[in-house]
Structure 1
Amino acid sequence: MSVVTSSLSGDQTKKLLSLLGHVRLSLLYKASIHGYTAAAFHARCDRQGPTVLAAFNQAGFLYGAYISKDYTQNGQHVNDDKAFLYSITDRREKPLRVTSTNGQYGFTDANTGPCFGALVFLLNNTAAVQYIAGNSYNFNPEEMHGNDLRLTECEVYRVEDMGPILMKPWRNVLWTSERKLQLKEKIQNYKPGVSSVSMAKILLVGPVGAGKSSFFNSVNSLFRGNMTSQAICGSAGTSLTNQFRTFTLKSGKGGKPIPLILCDTMGLEDEPGAGLNIDDIVNINKGHIKDRYQFNPITPLREDAPGYRKHVGLKDHIHCVVYVVDACKVSLMSAKIVEKLAAIRQKTNQIGIPQLVLLTKVDAACPLVAEDLQNLYSSHYIQRKVQEISVHLGVPVNSVLPVKNYNQEVDLDQNTDILLLSALDQMLNYADSFFENQLEDEEP
């Protein structure tokens, strides 16, 4: 499964956002990948809230329409006073913006391709647009699309309002070197509350590309003092991790081990028979799966298989499960992925293992955070994403930890480190809860 990427250039994105305001664009549909059909368009764009259509032609025009209401295929003309057509081209400095002639008509909600009165996108295995003069939107076709009605690409984006920056942060963080040192020393000196266990084991679970391996590489870099890439990670559409891996951390090159183990799993995928088999989760949680076990997406590990550890102690168990979710994709997670995560959560609850959520890529999700990581807890948008994933997975809001992994950087950053260390600290706090429950169970 290939990664679907936007065709918008940086300049086109900037000009489009100048029309839409402080919003985030999430790609829903790309005709060259999903097909130039009405069925493919509606399967991905119906009931997605505000959307913007982006059409590209050989004349160098980017044009389309913004609507603030859902596509539902009800066959009606939809009044939408926020809707408009637009056109962007290098031939002029500013984008063209056109509203409907009566200030109300937005689009026709048919089961065909998108219809905006004067512009009808013919998604019937064709890459073309029909122009109907004088219908609802009046414009000069030369200015709108250069009289070129053949498309080279057609995309639809979900438009999410980022909201204002909050006057009061919804969580308090000390962004100081002293706080970073305090957290780092606390983690380095951590001791599990059970004498038979020397290191806390944290399991990372999540969809493909959410950032599980990148999280390990980031915290490993933090403790090493330079960028590392021990865990395989990248941008492929399928899981790059196909083994169960247990990673230890060291303070500095060849230094003292940090008393925790991060366990990486194969990513979750939509398709049946692909990605991590959720029946393997129980064996992982109970410590039966050995390091470097090769996952089989179709068949879970059996007790008589070579990778199965029969005799386990508390040190082999998982002590905290962490669900890793891309902040950019919270609203776009498929029902199948949500269902798989819910099934894993149920199995994990039955064993009594505490669970957290790691919300990654917060800088990619919110421009305010990308501008300054210290804006994280003043971002209304990130706060909404935290609340949304809390509902999706059925975890408390205070169990959702936003972080930024290292990606393009070649040098460490104090603010990034503080978020990563805070997340690790909370994971160890939750592992302590697991150990305390074991001690209570052992009491007569």
Structure 2
Amino acid sequence: VTEVAMGDEWSTGGSPVDVTVSAGETCAYALIENTFVPGCLEITKVVDWGCVVPDESQEFTVNVTGPEGYFASLTFGYDGDTKTLLNLTPGEYFITEEDPGCDWTVDINSSPVMVNPGEFCAAVTVTNTYQPVAIGDYVWNDLNANGIQDAGELGIPGVTVELYQCGDATPVSTTTTDANGYYLFDCLKSGDYYVTFILPEGGWVFSPQDQGMDDALDSDADRATGMTICTSLECGETDLTWDAGMYMPGEEWCGLTIGFWKNNVGKFIGNKKNGRQVSDKFFNDIDEKTFFDDIYDCGSWDDVYKRLAKFDASSAEEKAIAQMFAMKLTSAYSEGGVVYFVDYSRYPYDSDCYEILTAASDYLGANPMYVQDLWSYVMDLYDDGDYSEAQELADCINNYKWGCEDYDENGMLCIDDSCTATSNDELAYIALS
């Protein structure tokens, strides 16, 4: 008597065996014994936290499926472990892990795995590696104070930068910018963060916030607090778009005197360090009566000169022209591919200007408003004889651009309410006198 092989998971005893069957006798007997030989499977969980501090509440779930509908679910903690499954039917087993989230990579070194009968367990390693996030990256000397990183503007070294989790007033980390103005906070867990830039000593101020259309080239620091808005970082993200522009008011628009304007109108606009020049002269030799046609073309200025030569402070038209001239200087200063725009919702100083810019936004159907569109609106007001409206709107646009309230009695631009203001109209007139 022999037994057909039942597989490696069974051991057989008492077979084959010979028996004699005689006529007329009771049945002969043969004893065959089968013993099940199970297998086992060791699953090792490796958790690599890398440079971040482990979170002791973190759990991972590994599932195992196998022959005859076998299923097991194993839970591992933040520091990993090894667990053994016993008495398994030999055969092919599949190992999967429930999604731990995008902050983790998952590596299973062998699946499916063959479990054989006997004492030697099959082995599988499941490795999870945490993907930290990072945030940066640049603080620069904004020579033209336009809030946009222009060619030739260099980084500022040694600036203190603080990292916070949103809703928490205690810094997560503090660093300083390197020799080229760059900073980086890395090895961070996923979460919501914001950055605070600390102005260096010596009179630095922050550049206008969120200018232009390229978020990687603007200044993100609030001008009053140095704080950025909150941003969410996850899934191993590295966000290098959080920058801050700074400048010295004494060297820029807020420190230029009437004498500077008088000496330089028509030939040189801007900071002497960066050499920015207006593309056209402000006047020509022919008796051309055209007002400014294009926001980027300084156009024919002799008509403006003639009007301002007879400047009458009581004339709404003359005041509008003076303010529009100041607005033209603004646009000339922003030449060279720099297109700035006005977002009235962030207007920092004057509630009256807020209302005026809101009305302009409603008229144009846009916010932020590109300055060339605002220029067209101002020209429409002027052409319609609405001189006061044109003057007020141009005044608010000029104030917004500088980030300055007005001019003091010495022709210095004010950055707060502490000085005795002189109107932009008077400055534009004096500059041409």
Calculate the TM-score normalised by the size of structure 1: 0.24
Q: Which one has a larger percent strand, Structure 1 or Structure 2?
A: 2
Calculate the TM-score normalised by the size of structure 2: 0.24
Bigger radius of gyration among the two = 2
Q: Which one has a larger percent helix, Structure 1 or Structure 2?
A: 1
